[in-house]
């Protein structure tokens, strides 16, 4: 079992380019696992954690409803946004500047083989991080992600999640609104859920801007503990 995870901060990067990079890393892990099972090759399977900030983009999960995108192609161009239908779970979401996106690409057989537990630990990482800012974040039953004021008329989502897993290898991940322009969420029905708001950490704290590097460090601290992992930082990482 290899609990070492290579952490890379890709900075500001195009969604499709990042998706392609994820697929490359994902395929490398799956290929190693297939070879191990066919040939007893004894290959170590790698684990990765990518941080990235995307230009304005809307993505729709494989089971999502296209009608939850409220813009046509011309309006997308006017907003300076792109759209992709992708191979993760979940419905539609938005990525853009001021949002911390994390893509753990893990061989879960190095940790545990339980997708439900995997999602709950990602949520817990967010919940623990937000607690350090004095916010009581929670899960909402039947709705993956992290919320504030669950069970009240003021419930609002601060972190969306959607993953893909095959042969116990994960990709895609979470999107935490830190300094996000929430106006872009008005162009979709976020995650296909009507009647609930979206928020961002800077709004909740009443600040013009929250230190995103500080937030990333807190996320990684909790991720490391929850997954009992060893983190190794690549040269591209900002930390």
Q: Which of 57, 101, 137, 191 is catalytic?
A: 191
Residue 142 labeled ligand binder: no
Determine how many CB atoms are found less than 10 A away from the CB of residue 196: 17
Judge whether 195 and 47 are in contact, CB under 8 Å: no
What are the C-alpha distances in Å from 97 to residues 20, 77, 117, 163?
20, 17, 29, 21
Residue 102 labeled ligand binder: no
Residue 28 labeled ligand binder: no
Catalytic residue list contains 191: yes
Residue 162 labeled ligand binder: yes
Residue 173 labeled ligand binder: yes
Residue 95 labeled ligand binder: yes
Residue 88 labeled ligand binder: yes
Residue 175 labeled ligand binder: yes
DSSP codes joined into one string, 24-75: HHHHHHHHHHHHHHHH---PPPP-EEEEEEPSSEEEE-TT--GGGB---HHH
Which residues participate in catalysis according to the annotation? 191
Enumerate the known binding-site residues for substrate.
Answer: 88-95, 160-162, 173-175
Enumerate the known binding-site residues.
Answer: 88-95, 160-162, 173-175
């Amino acid at each position: 079992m290899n609990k070492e995870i290579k952490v890379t901060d890709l900075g500001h990067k195009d969604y499709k380019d990042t998706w392609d990079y994820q697929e490359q890393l994902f395929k490398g892990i799956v290929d190693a696992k297939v070879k191990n099972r066919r040939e007893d090759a004894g290959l170590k399977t790698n684990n990765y954690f990518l941080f990235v900030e995307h230009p304005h983009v809307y993505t729709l999960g494989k089971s999502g409803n296209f009608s939850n995108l409220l813009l046509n192609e011309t309006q997308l161009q006017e907003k300076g946004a792109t759209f992709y239908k992708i191979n993760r779970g979940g419905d539609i979401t938005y990525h853009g500047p001021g949002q911390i996106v994390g893509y753990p690409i893990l061989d879960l057989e190095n940790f545990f083989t339980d997708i439900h537990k995997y999602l709950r630990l990602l949520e817990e990482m967010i919940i623990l991080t937000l607690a350090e800012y004095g916010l009581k974040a929670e899960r909402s039953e039947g709705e993956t992600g992290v919320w504030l004021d669950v069970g009240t008329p003021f419930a609002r989502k601060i972190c969306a999640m959607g993953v893909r897993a095959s042969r116990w290898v994960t990709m895609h991940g979470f999107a935490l609104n830190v300094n996000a322009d929430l106006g872009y969420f008005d162009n979709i029905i976020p995650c296909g859920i009507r009647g609930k708001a979206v928020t961002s950490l800077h709004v909740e704290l009443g600040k013009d801007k929250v230190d995103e590097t500080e937030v990333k460090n807190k996320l990684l601290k909790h991720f490391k503990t929850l997954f009992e992992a060893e983190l190794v930082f690549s040269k591209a990482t900002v930390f």
